[in-house]
Amino acid sequence: MDLTLRTFNDGAAPCFDRIDHAGIDTAAEALRAPSSMAWVDVLDPAEEEFAPLAAALKLDKLAVEDALTVHERPKSLRYGEILFVTAYTLTEAGDTSRISLFLFEHGLLTVRLGHGFDVDAVSENISENADLLRFGPKSLELMLLDAVVDGYTARVTAIDEQLDDVESILFDGRQSDRVSQVTFDLHKQVGALRRVVLPMRDVVGSLLRRISAAPDLHELLPYAEDVYDHTMRAADWTEGLRDSVESVRSTNLALVDNQLNTVMKKLTSWAAIIAVPTAITGYFGQNVPYPGYDQPWGFWLSALLMLVLAGGLYVAFKRRGWI
């Protein structure tokens, strides 16, 4: 378990003081101290490693279980005086991890499962907007969720660009197999994206309602509305991507079926053309007299019939576009 402690210093140059590998007692004391605001970040804790910190902070066992479980739906719940929020994070490449937040009166505890969320970059961004930290842990929650939603937007954009590349080769008959493979992969990616993004509407909506209901947090309201807007846009974009992927898959299947019909028409047409000479040679090959059977002109008559009838069929099929 990797534990990092950041404490906020309110001075001429507001910033976070980072203390790597802080002890559990130090972290718990910092989160309970009313004199300053602390952010404790825990990376990949085992249950037995996290238990002492959970006991020291009196965390609800259900919240702890949710924070340490790999597969858990994004949610925002209150356990007594502590607010618990959990969400999935995404990178542009599609790497998924999970982050859980425990909001105290004077501090924030985050539990991360996986390295997909760049906490250092978020910490730098928070330091640049340190004036918002005077509103307490809710401002930290707001900026962290903003970074999470930005990751969703980057991922949705990456998938949308892949879909544009597929659409550009959709009508190239030689690429139908590749289109099928890529669209199937995109379908799975969009499905995974929906399971991450759509529940975040409720999580960020809960944050927006809590900030709207607190008179002393009204200065944070525009920021919360902005994060909510980005979340809704990512969710709507994800739903649109699903429809677009399905449309490309359906179009590709229709093109493949049309191509198959064209091939079948050609095969049937050539089979009909070949059947004419076969029928004539079979007829003239009977052991019964036929016109010119004992004369040279009989051979030329059969050859002429084959050429005329087969050529007529070829012209007729060509006009219909079957060949």
What is the per-residue pLDDT across 187-220, written as a single tens digit (0 to 9) for each?
999 999 999 999 999 999 999 999 999 988 889 9
Residue 90 has pLDDT above 90, yes or no: yes
Q: Which of 81-85, 87-91, 135-139, 228-232 has the lowest mean pLDDT?
A: 135-139
Residue 283 has pLDDT above 60, yes or no: yes
Model pLDDT, residue 230: 96
Beta carbons within 8 Å of 275's beta carbon, 6+ residues apart: none
Q: What is the mean pLDDT of the chain?
A: 86
Q: How many other CB atoms sit within 10 Å of the CB of residue 119?
A: 19
Angstrom distance (rounded) from CA 40 to CA 8: 11
Model pLDDT, residue 110: 96
Angstrom distance (rounded) from CA 193 to CA 260: 34
Residue 119 has pLDDT above 50, yes or no: yes
Q: How many other CB atoms sit within 10 Å of the CB of residue 223?
A: 19
Give phi and psi for 111, each to the nearest 5. -120, 120
Model pLDDT, residue 42: 94
Model pLDDT, residue 304: 84
Straight-line distance from the first to the last Cα atom of the chain, in angstroms, rounded to the nearest whole number: 70
- At residue 264's C-alpha, the angle toward residues 262 and 269, to 5°, is 95
Q: Tell me what percent of the residues of the chain surpass a pLDDT of 90.
A: 50
Q: Which tens digits make up the pLDDT trace of 144-171?
A: 999 999 999 999 999 999 999 998 888 8
Higher pLDDT, 134 or 280: 134
Q: Which tens digits make up the pLDDT trace of 46-87?
A: 999 999 999 999 999 999 999 999 888 999 999 999 999 999
Mean pLDDT over residues 88-112, rounded?
93
Model pLDDT, residue 11: 47
Model pLDDT, residue 12: 40
Mean pLDDT over residues 250-276, rounded?
80
Alpha helices by DSSP H, listed for the chain, are: 24-32, 47-57, 61-68, 119-128, 137-168, 176-197, 200-213, 221-284, 296-319
Model pLDDT, residue 161: 94
